[in-house]
Homo-oligomer: A and B are copies of this chain.
Amino acid sequence: MQFRPDLDSTSETPLYRQLGGYVQRLIQNGELQPGDRLPPTRELAGQLGLNRTTVSAAYEWLESEGLILGAVGRGSFVLGKTPSAESAIPEPQSIDWSTRLTPSMFASGISSPGATALGSVIDFSSSRPSEQLFPLEAFRESCAEVLAHPRLQSLLQLGSPLGHGPLRSWLLTRAKQQGFAGVDDDILITNGCQQAVDILRRALTQTGTKVAIEEPVYPGLRNLFLDSGAELIGVPVTSQGMDLRSLHKALDAGAKVVVVTPSFQNPTGATMPASARAALVSMTRNAGAIAIENDIYSDLVYQGAKLPKLKSFDANVIQLGSFSKIAFPGIRVGWIIAPKQVIRRAAELKQLTDLHTDQLSQAFLLQFAESGRLERHEATVIAAGREKLRAVEQACQQHLDTCRFTVPDGGMNMWLTLPDGLDAGALRGLARQAGVDYLPGRYFSVSRSLDSGLRLSFAGLTAAEIRRGIEILGEVIRNAATSRDDASRPTLAFV
């Protein structure tokens, strides 16, 4: 703006005060806004035909009044009237946030847990435990015991990035007793398994690092690595888990990190036999790569025996665990068991990301586990899981005879391949109208089209819901297949 002060050299008020008063009025009536720059003294002096010292004196006076900052030199600018907190909130100026925010590195197809509100639809879309099975009284007792203890005071104080000491000891001792952790291992507590992966990708990958992951894969895992600029190599999953021949190729192609869920993989439910586990570990080690074992489902065995963990074959394997699948997903406690050097770097990153995991929740879960309540709850979950699995098996055989599937021995999820020519994404709308929902294969894609596949998550449903849901799904699939074969009805086209 142009400064046009009405200066009177004959006045008793000195010129610098007249100029200062003029600027003061500009500030007070809002013509000059906080943050606005004032013209340099030399420039304004020239413009107004004043001596530069007069302008400097005016600026010094304004600064002494707290109205501007930087009386001398460049960069004098307006501080403005002291504003009050009661003043109205200004309208947001037009910031174009789309240009200011980092872009998503992935399609917007993240499943948003808890966001579905489908009314009476039987929902196979969410991989989560059944809340009807939550042992509320046993959990309340555990909490009450922790809260009554004098240790509560220190639980509420700032803690260690590594996690709550007693919980770490309990988990690490259990891992050693079970034979898959050794003297060189340590443990870091995280906010569930998702954060464990987030921390490890920061510890192990940089832009361009090649990472082998299963395909289909849990999107939260894929997206984390995509977000860090890693180059993903999708390794197909068969009914025997990660296909080793394809993994071999991925390692030949330079994969430096292998992320694998050997038991009841999400979304397929596939489980690797013991011999394949040994081979995967050897291949990975021989290629100079690091294996991350996502071990969050391995306790959910409804039939058959538990299989040896990858980490039992090689102490260098980094293992992820969590209470979320066996107990309560709303309480975010997971962990990483790995060689000490890995845990040291991971703890540094954990401190950086959120200081440490909630201490009260760690103490609640420890008490729940140490008191034997977790084990009793696990037995309940497994018994219920067995019943659900029987329902899945029977209903699939009865209603989904045109599909391909392998019923798993545990976990929460199963993969279904539709008859040729049907698209699980296109079919979903019809399924929802008919009263059943699932997640289409494309949610779990790395680089392949998985349009003919879909995930059925059965752990959150009752056996009766499972039977009814699969029956409905079977009808939807049969109708769609008939429509596809029926050239006279071109309105239903599944491409």
Contact = CB atoms under 8 A, between A and B. Distances in A.
A476 to B, nearest CB: 27
A276 interface: yes
Contacts of A307: 85
A195 B331 contact: no
Given A147-B143, A245-B69, A198 B92 contact: no
A115 B356 CA distance: 13
Interface string A42-74: 000000000000000000000000100110000
A314 B155 CA distance: 38
Contact of A83 (B224, B290, B313): B313
Interface in A134-169: 134, 136, 139-140, 143-144, 147-148, 152-161
Interface string A109-152: 01011110000000000101001001010011001100110001
Given A245-B69, A312-B89, A316-B92, A355 B152 contact: no
Contacts of A85: 179-180, 274, 306-309, 312
A184 interface: yes
A158 to B, nearest CB: 4
Contacts of A90: 313-315
Contacts of A112: 160-161, 351
Interface string A178-205: 0111101000001110110010001111
Contact of A153 (B78, B82, B134, B352): B134
Contact of A352 (B144, B220, B315, B348): B220
Given A161-B112, A245-B70, A356-B332, A34 B89 contact: no
Contacts of A492: none
Interface stretch (A15-23, A95-103, A396-404, A428-436): A95-103
A8 interface: no
Contact of A143 (B83, B143, B286, B358): B143
B80 A275 contact: yes
A75 interface: yes
B113 A355 contact: yes
A186 B68 CA distance: 34
B192 A341 contact: no
A119 to B, nearest CB: 17
A34 B78 contact: no
Contacts of A342: 97, 101
A278 interface: yes
Contacts of A153: 131, 134, 136
27 contacts: A35-B278, A35-B286, A69-B279, A70-B245, A78-B279, A79-B276, A82-B273, A83-B313, A84-B308, A89-B312, A92-B182, A97-B342, A101-B342, A102-B206, A102-B345, A114-B159, A126-B158, A131-B154, A131-B157, A144-B147, A156-B328, A159-B330, A194-B353, A195-B354, A198-B352, A332-B356, A358-B358
